[in-house]
Amino acid sequence: ITGDPNHWFDASVFVLQPQGTFGNTPRNFLRGPAFANADLSLVKNQALFGATRLQLRLEVFNVFNRANFSAPNRPVFAGATQNEAPLATAGQVLRTANSSRQVQLGVKVLF
For residue 91, with 0-12 CB atoms within 10 Å meaning exposed, 13-18 middle and 19 or more buried, which class applies?
buried
The predicted pLDDT at position 80 comes to: 63
pTM: predicted TM-score of the whole model, two decimal places: 0.60
Judge contact between 63 and 39, C-beta under 8 A.
yes
Size of the chain in residues: 111
Highest mean pLDDT of the ranges 59-63, 67-71, 80-84, 85-89: 59-63
Mean model confidence pLDDT for the chain: 83
Q: Indicate the SS3 state at residue 46.
A: strand
Q: Answer whether residue 91 shows pLDDT above 80.
A: no
